Structure 1
Amino acid sequence: MKTKLNKTTQALIFCGALIPTVHAASVLPNDFDFNVELDQAQRYIVTLKSDKQAVALPFELSPQQTMQLQVNRLESLAVGVAAQAKQVLPSINAVSMSLTAEQKAQLEARSDVLSIEVDPKRYLMAESTPYGINMVQANQLADTMSGNRKVCIMDTGYTLNHPDLPSTGITGDDGYGSNNTGNWYNDGNGHGTHVAGTIAAIGGNGQGVVGVNPSGQLGLHIVKVFNDSGRWAYGSDLVKAIEQCQQAGANVTSMSLGGSGQSAAERQAFANSYAQGMLHIAAAGNGGNSSMSYPASYDAVVSVAAVDNRENKASFSQYNSQVEIAAPGVAVNSTWNNNGYKSISGTSMATPHVSGVAALVWSHFPNCTNQQIRDALNATAKDKGAAGRDTSYGYGIVQAKAAYDYLAGGQCGAGGDAKPVASFSVTINGKTIQLKDGSFDDKGVAAYAWEFGDGATSSSQNPSHTYAAAGDYTVKLTVTDTIGQTASKSQVVKVTGGNTGGCNGVAAWSASKVYLSKDQVSLNGTLYEAKWWNRDQNPEQFSGRWDVWANKGACN
């Protein structure tokens, strides 16, 4: 029969005099500090076997005393290896503590230890709003109408079934032919999934982030133009991707990509699809210089610069006359291909803010044309840098609510006739220039007016002109549409009196001639050799590493 002890005896027991431990506690040094993190310590959960009792007590304990005895036993386990109990868990007969490898080995050698496992970290799963969403005013405009718009994302693919991305109704196209990029719904890189999250990460689900269009209603079409390693694609891949986006019924394209070389065929594909109603958005580039990146620098494409959380231009963001608008692109947090999240930087991150806002605003005014949406975004952008449009920010930081308010004033009317867009390319051969029109209008261009900068003019669509002297000249094209609306573009051209051909007997390059691999041409005293078939590709502009011409050096 068990006896009950007086309070003094019980107090001695629970002060530790009779704590039932199998191993005696080690003596700790006087200056030992439990608050100092042990070298290379890892936090573990140590569970004891429930049937091991070193001391059988000859008296009956109350439930509270039994619990306290168990707590003491678990705490003594940590003290026995000079560790500190972080959490005592009597409900599972366990204790958590930080242990070095040596301390862990000591516990593993004990017969009363059932298991030792890493104490896994857990993180707050509450939903957060990336700073860019507020900066572009997406939080001020509901996306309840976004189901009538579709954004086509040309990138590394999409992580289908990501818990914070739409999983139903998403369509896509894979790589094809020699550019076999894999399945569009797999993103082994992560870049495309990050872009998609900025555009359309789901809101109100208590996890992760929110996108510009958080309701899950926005249509998405994915074209996987890059493989999982993010390997470069060709301009022709983008031309094909435009076709796929159009066939899928996309209104907006989002292209967080680019390169230095331009292509007349690629330019024309963007111009044609723009004239048919698509709105193209692309990254200005991350070179931190004034060079042009394509497709962003084509006139039919909106070139997007990047800013940081203080609305300052990112150091890496390219700046030039084609930069049209800006958006957050530094330390942007968004979805990643591991079903988690990642914060990265680039004009690639700024681009989906603009394409997302374009779709959001357009969804409220589906009667507007792509040009009218583009004009509204530019007219209401938050001006930064030099007053008005500048090379670093374009018209400024895109503003969703301001654009909505602008269009709510009836700027689109009943659909109307969009203004034309002037565009042209120039080929220089000595003192002679050949101009090629690239302008477009939804109803057609009615008239062309060229100014060559030396007093001469022309009304032809694709004129040529020979200057009397070498120098820099500003060429200006003004186009007029069928109802008298006009648009202009100017470009400085540099003409010389240099060699126009005859480089060791090699014929001068001609914009109208088709060249095959290994064909050689001369232009302005330089010899070039074709890498593959091309036409209308100026060797001075297309002689980079991945371009169609190889620069063979100056003529003798």
Structure 2
Amino acid sequence: MKPKTKHLLCLFSIVLSMFFLPAPILANESTKTVAINNPSEVSGEAQMTINTLSEIPDVDSTGNIDSQVVIIYKNTSPLNVQSLSLSTNEVVSGETISDRVDVLEVKSDVDIDAFIKTINENPNVLVADRNCILRTYDLPNDPYVTDGSAWQFVSIGADQTWDQVANSETVGIAVLDTGLNTSHPDLVGRIIAGYDYVNKSDAVTDQDGHGTLVSGFIAATANNGIGLSGVAGTANIKIAPYRVGTKGLSVANICAALMDAADRSDIKVINMSYGGYEYNNSEAAAIAYAKDRGKVLVAAAGNEGEPTDPEAGLPSYPASYDGVISVAATTRTNERATFSQYNSMVDLAAPGENVYTTSISNGYKSDSGTSFSAPIVAGACGVLLAANGDLSARDVETALTSTALDLGDPGKDDAFGYGLIQLDQALQKVVTDKPLSVLYKTHIQNLGWEPLFKRNGELSGTSGLGYRLEAIQILLDNPGYDLGIAYQTHIQDIGWQDWRYDGELSGTSGAGLRLEAIQIKLTGADANQFDLYYRTHVQNLGWLSWATNGEQSGSSGYGYRLESIEVKVVPKGTPFDTSGDSFITNPV
């Protein structure tokens, strides 16, 4: 056959095949895609292998949550995404939430359960599961505040503990919520670093208000003449706000926040005032990660306790995960709030009906829900840890459950758990074996205030620099004793200042005047159980001998500056060397 004729027959055969052979099946006409990055099981559209999530669009926050998958990796690695062997045939968008948490959105024709199963088989993945939205557990109510309305603190004994704990090391409480109004006058100074997973910013905002309500129960500033006090009272407890959504909180954001908080040494407690009724493997893994790192985990039991609620009596999550303290809500008369969820996983109860707290508008409001019972318990956990930093998460929970006011059926029950927390009794329990400590810090010439309080004999001030002390604050880390501390300083050009008490400033601020002498003494009914010793390092004189229980330490008539100080408190009768002069007067 001639070459030209042969080519014509080939072309004719190709044309016939186009008319008579079956057409290829389009992807949207076939069964759902199962395999990841398997070209034989997807349509013929252009495929791109995904090496990083920056190569595809971010997940639409208003998109279909049912098509989203949360992935938690075992370790941080820039190759985590690449190891999944993803392609654009399965994945339409993706987003990095943190260095170990990603969220993906798969196409509608992908079998998401099979997709998740395959992801979970990857050796680099800790767990993967569907993303979902959890809701906050608050109920609307009258925002008007009247004097004396913050009854919840009396109900749990916090009115007896607000000024009993003074810790130098901050106890951080992570609040995973809608964010925080960081400029609220009752919360300024009570906040440490958090993160806004919605805006991907270190600057946390609150567009909803729920997170600000929750935070006030924990750490609203005590004894400042405005608003109300959080359960923390004067203890050094601060909020680490993590914004994980608005009314709807993304499990992907929650997992990232849990793991970040778990890795921080300054965060001891994590509060979760939200929930849902589906067990989620990704959330459970993040909870377990935080639990294994010793965090105290507290969550709202839920608001679906009314007889007409279809979820009444069901376990809610995260409250029902292992290692989480599930908190129900009580009324002013110590009854179960009608909305409060009940089930066998409830551990404790706290006020949650018509309770007052800080609002997003820089004011205060009343609200109801187990959302607000949980932070009361979280704040109580913080107080116990501030009083005794050696406590484990189990120790903290046991202290609260063993001292709770038993309500409802005798013993643990579904409505109240072990009962209504009694912080004053729990505090007494955890400090029984803890020694009393004195804390102090000084304002130093050219340096300003020391960043942290010194404790029990540590040097406060400077050595060898010749800098004057200009002011001092002293307080007690008071484990349940009826004790306070008073002190007065002799100031250049002023003389003896009036007595100051329990953390107040003695000296001057901004005047550049030296402290020349000091007196310190214990106050309270239990003062006779302890001895207080203190000594000062004085210009040209060096260290003087130890003074005790209100004696003067320093010098008079020389104009010498105090340069440093040490203070100790010991049980009465403890041997102590007080020989020598603790105060020197110029005889001229």
Normalised by the length of structure 1, the TM-score is 0.48
Structure with max Cα Rg: 1
